[in-house]
Structure 1
Amino acid sequence: MTRHPDRADDPDRRSPASDSDVSTHVYLCTGCPLGCRLEVDATEEDVVEVRGFNCRKGERYGEQEHLDPRRPLSTTIWIEGATIRRVPVRTAEPIPRDQVRAVAEALRGLRVTAPVRRGDVVVADILGTGIDVIVTRDLPAVSPHNQLAAG
């Protein structure tokens, strides 16, 4: 079995498992615009080797994707008292992939009131992930003069 050159001689990075316990998984890297096809050799608990990356982001992405896959989530939520009815929000960091649907569902009925500013936290520690949901657009409150335009 070939190993990553930086890891081939590093006894701390070698897997204690035999070669028969290692399986290969293929991922498409989204860490940069290159979109490398990664091959990750891994046991159930550890990554042995990542191949196919053309930058360091790819190597880190392959390890992360195999051990703890995460995804960013962007959506919109209802806003009251603004010129438009929905405001864009996103998770401040990628969330565990298996919680994306639950987080989206938790945001479904959420309503905020204008004004909001980019970066405002609308939900702290969503579903116990330790990750906040933040506003990505400034929306001022509608003045009484513009009330008809928002309705």
Structure 2
Amino acid sequence: MEVTKLVCIGCPKGCGLTVEHSGKTIEKISDYGCKIGLEYAKNEFTEPKRIITTTVRVKAGDLPFVPVKTKDPVNKEKIFVVMKEISELEIESPVHVGDMIRSNIAGTGVDLVCTRNIKKVS
């Protein structure tokens, strides 16, 4: 049996978690302080996901870039594909918080949304 150590990011406590497994099959999870830690360990071990935050270029905006994020977490293995697609984007101003920039970014089923208002400049 193998052992993988994780640090839970579900709350500020940061519990050190232990996952005992045979290959990709979890046998036992220990050292979690709450149910959040248990779920985090299961998900992080079997299918790790992350919210992606970055910026996108804006044409004719009062700022040259708008901060964006994925609406939901994406599989960790897809992060570089998603970032490549985002790096090629340039959007027209104005944009508003919550506006969808790209649906189904990089075929992940997750939308990319704005997190700041950007005004159009003449």
TM-score (norm 2): 0.93
Specify the alignment match of 1:128 in structure 2: 107
Cα distance in 2, alignment partners of residues 52 and 137 from structure 1: 39
Specify the alignment match of 2:28 in structure 1: 49
**Unaligned stretches of 5+ in structure 1?**
1-21, 145-151
Structure with the higher fraction of residues in strand conformation: 2
Specify the alignment match of 2:8 in structure 1: 29
Specify the alignment match of 2:84 in structure 1: 105
**1:44 offset after TM fit, Å?**
3.1
Q: Which amino acid aligns with 2:114?
A: V
Q: Which amino acid aligns with 2:26?
A: V
Cα distance in 2, alignment partners of residues 61 and 84 from structure 1: 37
Larger Rg: 1
Cα distance in 1, alignment partners of residues 18 and 102 from structure 2: 37
> How many residues are paired up?
122
**1:79 offset after TM fit, Å?**
0.4
**Unaligned stretches of 5+ in structure 2?**
none
Specify the alignment match of 1:137 in structure 2: 116
Matched, 1:119 2:102: no
RMSD over aligned Cα atoms = 1.2
Relative contact order (alpha carbons < 8 A, sep ≥ 6): 1 or 2 greater? Answer: 2
Specify the alignment match of 1:149 in structure 2: none
TM-score (norm 1): 0.76
Q: Determine what percentage of the aligned residue pairs are the same residue.
A: 29
Cα distance in 1, alignment partners of residues 22 and 112 from structure 2: 34
Cα distance in 1, alignment partners of residues 109 and 25 from structure 2: 24
**1:45 offset after TM fit, Å?**
4.1
Cα distance in 1, alignment partners of residues 67 and 100 from structure 2: 12
Matches within 5 A, 1:56-75: 56-75=35-54
Q: Which amino acid aligns with 1:48?
A: E
